[in-house]
Amino acid sequence: MLRGVLLSMSRSDRLKQVATDAPPARALVARFVAGETTADAVSATADLIGSGRLVTIDRLGEDTLDLAQARATRDAYLELLDALGEHGLTDGAEVSVKLSAVGQALPDDGEKVAHEYAAEICAKAASLGTTVTLDMEDHTTTDSTLGILRALRADFPGTGAVLQAYLRRTEADCRDLSYEGSRVRLCKGAYSEPESVAFTDRGDIDRAYVRCMKILMQGEGYPMLATHDPRLVEIGGALAVRSDRAPGSYEFQMLYGIRPEEQARLAAQGERMRVYVPYGDEWYGYLVRRLAERPANLALLARTLTSKG
């Protein structure tokens, strides 16, 4: 219920303005977001790679209904990839793209625009020896996103998918995407979804995550286990052993600023550990989703929104 209220705030323009105007919001944002500029993203990436972790970078922004905005997001990714190349970081860093940020929701030809812009980003990434993963958004976009993924993979087979364990359909999607070379990030899912399409009980979501993880780990693809949940990380490690997974044939992923000690511990153990690094000035929706994941974060949010300091 609380999570639902918080998630509904992620699309509130008025609350976004309040949060932007409150100076303490900057500190809160800095905990979860690497900065606003390409240089900030590159610098955070260099630090993480220096510490033995891998990175996927997300240019913040989503749900655009403006073609110029979609084009600007594409351009920002192209600039980012060039900068990663110039700094010699493309071995350890890739990018994550939300199709709704590159036009998927535009009326009439949104899917075509998103496909075209995502393909340009994939082409740039491929020319620099790295890859793109398509983030997954709310359930109304799943079919469209998987359709565009299939089309992109025809030219760029390394393009990664994201599947959300809370969706009832996801076990079947895991089976479909468990083929050789298929990079699949498995997460619990971050949107407010109806019972009709998603598990809403935390225990049910965790059990679904384990079922999906088994399918991916026993399949032919490259599983990317995106969770901070200690039990699921442990089960993931055990499944890797039980499925005879060679080191380097799967990876763990966590978000920037969340459980950094655990990230470092897994990397030090020799696991491939990738950190999702968001940057850019469109941080509001992302931030609210992170706060909604943890009841303790509510107090932090309330203090931030009511503080005049």
What are the residues whose beta carbons fall under 8 Å from the beta carbon of 304, sequence distance 6 or more?
19, 22, 24, 25, 28
Least separation in angstroms between residue 308's CB and ligand FAD is 25
Cβ proximity to ligand FAD: between 88 and 230 the closer is 230
**By CB under 6 A, residue 304 contacts ligand FAD:** no
Cβ proximity to ligand FAD: between 87 and 259 the closer is 259
Window 20-39: contact mask with ligand FAD (x via CB under 6 A): --------------------
Window 41-60: contact mask with ligand FAD (x via CB under 6 A): --------------------
Catalytic-residue membership of 294: no
Which residues between 247 and 266 bind ligand FAD (CB under 6 A)? Answer: 253-255, 258-259
Least separation in angstroms between residue 202's CB and ligand FAD is 7
**By CB under 6 A, residue 228 contacts ligand FAD:** yes
Among 44, 60, 122, 187, binds ligand FAD (CB under 6 A): 187
What are the residues whose beta carbons fall under 8 Å from the beta carbon of 144, sequence distance 6 or more?
99, 104, 111
Q: Interacting stretch for ligand FAD, rule CB under 6 A, among 46-54, 66-74, 181-189, 213-221?
A: 181-189
Q: What dihedral do alpha carbons 41, 47, 53, 54 form, nearest 10°?
A: 30
3-class state of residue 273 by DSSP: strand
Task: Bin 254: left if φ > 0, else alpha if -120 < ψ < 50, else beta.
Answer: beta
Among 162, 233, 239, 273, binds ligand FAD (CB under 6 A): 162
Least separation in angstroms between residue 162's CB and ligand FAD is 4
**By CB under 6 A, residue 293 contacts ligand FAD:** yes
Cβ proximity to ligand FAD: between 258 and 305 the closer is 258
Helix-helix angle 13-21:296-306, to 10 degrees:
70
Would you give the distance in Å from CA 176 to the centre of its chain? 21
CA-to-CA distance for 300 and 309, rounded, in angstroms?
A: 14
Catalytic-residue membership of 135: yes
Pairing mode, strands 132-134 and 161-164: unpaired
CA gyration radius, the chain: 18
Q: Where on the chain is the footprint of ligand FAD (CB under 6 A)?
A: 135-136, 162, 164, 185, 187-191, 226-229, 253-255, 258-259, 276, 290, 293-294, 297
